[in-house]
Structure 1
Amino acid sequence: MLKVKLISFVLLLLNIFTLVYSIGTNRTYLIKKDFLSGLKGGEFSVYDSTGKIRQYRMESKFGATHDVRIYSLPSKTLLARLKAKFTAAMYKATVSILVNEKRNEWSNGTIEQNFKLVGNKFTIIWNDNRILMEGTVASLNTQFIEEPLGTVLAKFRKRVSSLFWRNKYDLQVLTDKYPDTLFFLGVAARDHSNKKIHRG
C-alpha cells in the first residue's frame, strides 16, 4: 500500500513539473511590420499573445545594408542588434544580444542564408550553438531547429492577410535556453531576405 502511494505521489510530482515546464516555455508573440518604413529596412512592433500590449520594438537604421536594433518597452533598453553584410545574393548578418544587463555583457553570432532549391533555410550560430531556421516551399511556416538534436526551439507563421496587407507573424517560443530576441532577429532576417527576393 505504501509503495502504491509513493508511486502515485511521484507521478503527481511529474505531472506538476511537466505543467510548470510547459507553461514556462510556451510564449507567443504577434509581430507586426510597420506599413511604411521609408528607405530603411522593415521595422516591427512585438506584442504579447493578445496583440494588444506592445512589449518590444525593432527599429532599422538608414544604410546600405539591413541594420536592426531591438528595444524593450517602455524602458527603451537596447537588447539586440543585427547588421547585414554586403553580399551578391545570400543574406549574411552579424548579431549581438544582451545577455546580462547589469554587467552589460553581450554575446555575438551570425545569421546566414543557405542555398536551397525550394523553400528557405538559414543557419544561426550563437553562443557556440547551431540553429537552423527553415521553411518549406509555398509554406507560411518557419521553424528554428537546434542541431544536432533536432529540437524545435521556436516557430513562426506568416499570416495569410500579409499577402494583401502589411506583414504579420505569429511567433511561438518553446525554450528558455535562448533569449527571445534571437528569434525576433530571425524573423526580421527572414522578412528582409524575402523582400529582397521579390524585388529581384
Structure 2
Amino acid sequence: MIAYLKGDFVQKTPASVYVDVNGVGYEVLISLNTYSKIQELDKGLLHTVLIIREDAHIIFGFFEPSEKEMFQQLISVSGIGASTARMMLSYLKPEELARAIVHSDIKTLEGIKGIGKKSAERLVLELKDKLSKHPVETNISPLKNNSLQQDALNALIALGINRTAAETAIKKTLLSEPNLLVEELIKKSLRIL
C-alpha cells in the first residue's frame, strides 16, 4: 500500500497530477477538492489510496487525510466504485457529503451524476452511523486559473462525461453565470448533465 507521495507536482489538471518522487513520476487521480488545494503549489504531499484492478494499478490522491478517509468510506459501500467516489468528492466537499449522508438527504445525493435513488439510500444506510461518530471538516480555497473552460472540460471528461455533452453543459453554465471559478463551473455543469 502506498500511504502518501511527497514530491514535485510536475503537471496538474483538475482531474490528475503527476508527482515526481526522487525521479519517479506517479500519475495520481484527484478530486476537484484536492485540485483547489494544490493548484498554486509546486510540490507537496498527497495522501493516497492504491486501487489494484486486473488491468491497472490506479493511485488516488488527496490533499487532506479527511478527504482520503471519506473516499475510503465511500468505496466501502456496495455499488460505489473509485471513479464514482471521486465524482462525489468533486461534486460536494467532504463535509457536505458527510452532512447529506448523516441527515439522510437523499435528494442531494441523487443530484450527483451516477448516483440514483437506490445508491443514495445505500450510502445513507451503510455510512450514516460511521459518519455521525467521525465528522469530516475541510475547507476549499478559491481557484485562480486562466484556462477555465479547458480545465473544466478536462475534469468532466476525466470523470467519464462525454466530450460533446461536457462542452454543451459548460457553455450553458457560462451563459447564465460567466464569472465562475473552475470548481463551481464543473459542479454547475454536472448539474445540467
Name the TM tier (shorter chain).
under 0.3
More strand per residue:
1
More helix per residue:
2
Q: Normalized against structure 1, the TM-score is what? A: 0.26
Higher relative contact order (CA 8 A, sep 6+): 2
